[in-house]
Amino acid sequence: MSGWTGLGRRSIGSAILAIAMGGAAIPSSAQEPATPPAEEQPAPVTAEWNKDLVSTQHTIAIDGAAIAYTATAGTMALLEESGKVRANLFFVAYTRDGVEDTSSRPITFTFNGGPGSSSVWLHLGLFGPKRVVMNDDATPVPPPFQLVDNEHSLLDVSDFVFIDPVTTGYSRAAEGVNAGEFHGVSEDVESVGEFIRLYATRFKRWDSPKFLAGESYGTTRAAGLSGHLQGRHGMYLSGIMLISSILDFQTARFDIGNDLPFVLFLPTYCATAWYHGRLDESLQRNLRATLDEVEEFALGEYAQALLLGDRLSAEEQSRLAARVARYCGVSQEFIEQCNLRPSIGRFAKELRRDERRTVGRLDSRFVGIDRDAAGDGYSYDPSYAAIQGPYSAALNHYVRGTLKYENDLPYEILTGRVQPWSYGRNQNQYLNVAETLRSAMTQNPSLRVFVANGYYDLATPYFATEHTFNHMSLDASLRGGVSMGYYESGHMMYIHGPSLAKLRGDLKAFIAAATAPQP
């Protein structure tokens, strides 16, 4: 199989995997001849790549100022060196009109996660000029759904390109190409990285300050891209925005023998119980003060107890179970039955079992109704159920009605068609791309990182993210380049109005700091 246009044949091999997982890239000169044989010469790129692009003009008011912008929707063809199309990636770009000097205008490449998610959530929830209307009280919005101007968009401070990886949105592998070739950690980093390179080249944005913004698994992708773009293309980033981050998968896998998640999820269990009024009076007074207490306990007595395993005495187990139960808003008996280790599904089912209600995973403020109240685990995630309908309807209407882009393929909002997802050399170990990010920051000391955390996020808990960054071994000179924000919402904190407003302010300040002249 040929590599991408402009890349050598090694690009899908070990060198790219090394970059994506944090290692060093092998120099091109050590892998391939300086000039490929005649039969491998790249085919010229024609104008066919933009044959379905549609541009429309719009205006939005942000902070009292009218922002005129151009929206461009369509697909970008990713080519083999032979000129054959391997995939077509759908994207929507928003660029501010009247900008003559792009060297001072940031551009942010944005994507969600899954794996298998389109970019619809960040597109119509946070960054784009339109947003889906949601209820701040964590109750579902009845259809039909509304799409309104997003006064919290960051289009005033950056252009945005929303990317749908292969098999998500309208993006598809080309005819005759196995889509599975794109469904993996390194394969995904390479294809999205190639899109970013092509976009920057074709739309003349190499001179712009460049940012990445990813959510959930999209933060995994962003960390991988930080090394890939830098090592393969010499594309240095100004900043990375991580929304609900997961870089080290050991922090979130409730596997037998892996006690780390139980420690790191405990503060979010407590925040969830606090939101639902299930804690005793002394713990209900102040969320942040309560979480400080729980965090200290989690890293101290609780972590030590889990490390002792069966050596923990029955008396100590009972004492610890009572304290864990107090912080989780559940019974001591339940914690003892879990051997001090309540998983997400068990906790979500137990917290309001007496009311036959289950709390959400993506956002534990939401509640759902299962068929019965006897089991453990989810029959469905009520928080995802509450957002899937509004975002799906809004996107499908918006693309044709406002952006004037027509495509009869189903827009894959969040699909299982990318499974099985290949973890490459990590098949028998936990994926951890934090080292990739550390390496990129070391080689590019100007690279800044912002991490947004929702207190009610049971998918990527804030304490697990803090643990990851506290174990990156960042040099002291680089630690100031990482900043974090906290929001009283869940995984998609922007569906909560007050959190959305706060997040906009935090991200606007982050972009300004990342593009300010360096001493």
Question: What is the full DSSP assignment across 251-318?
Answer: GG---TT--HHHHHHHHHHHHHHHHTT-S-HHHHS-HHHHHHHHHHHIIIIIHHHHHHGGGS-HHHHH
Average pLDDT of the segment spanning 428-433:
88
pLDDT tens-digit map of 227-239: 999 999 999 999 9
Q: What is the pLDDT of residue 49?
A: 57
- Phi, psi values for residue 406, rounded to 5°: -115, 130
- pTM flag (> 0.85): yes
Q: What is the pLDDT of residue 426?
A: 67
- 489 to 135, 198, 361: CA distances (angstroms): 12, 36, 12
In this structure, what is the dihedral angle of CA atoms 437, 441, 447, 451, given to the nearest 10 degrees?
40
Find where tokens 């044709």 sit: 400
Quote the CA–CA distance of 84 and 449 in Å, as a whole number.
Answer: 37
What domains sit in the chain, N to C, each tagged with a CATH number?
A: 9-250+389-442+475-486 (3.40.50), 254-380 (no CATH)
Looking at the predicted structure, is the pLDDT value of residue 287 above 80? yes
Q: What is the pLDDT of residue 51?
A: 72
Q: What is the pLDDT of residue 82?
A: 81
Quote the CA–CA distance of 313 and 300 in Å, as a whole number.
Answer: 17
Residue 48: pLDDT band with limits 50, 70, 90: low
Report the length, in residues, of the chain. Answer: 519
DSSP secondary structure letters along 209-236 = -EEEEEEEHHHHHHHHHHHHHHHHH---
Strand partners, 67: 60
Q: What is the pLDDT of residue 34?
A: 40
Q: Higher pLDDT residue, 61 or 22?
A: 61
Looking at the predicted structure, is the pLDDT value of residue 474 above 50? yes
Quote the CA–CA distance of 113 and 437 in Å, as a whole number.
Answer: 17
Q: 359 near 457, Cβ under 8 Å?
A: no
Question: Which pair of structure tokens corresponds to residue 150?
Answer: 């997003």
Looking at the predicted structure, is the pLDDT value of residue 30 above 80? no
Q: 319 near 284, Cβ under 8 Å?
A: no
- Phi, psi values for residue 485, rounded to 5°: -125, 150
- Phi, psi values for residue 39, rounded to 5°: -75, -10
Q: What is the pLDDT of residue 42?
A: 38
- Pairing mode, strands 239-245 and 448-454: parallel
Q: 70 near 155, Cβ under 8 Å?
A: no
Looking at the predicted structure, is the pLDDT value of residue 456 above 70? yes
Residue 83: pLDDT band with limits 50, 70, 90: confident
Coil, helix or strand at residue 62: strand
pLDDT tens-digit map of 360-388: 999 999 999 988 888 888 889 999 999 99
Q: What is the pLDDT of residue 50?
A: 64
Strand partners, 71: 56, 94
Looking at the predicted structure, is the pLDDT value of residue 13 above 80? no
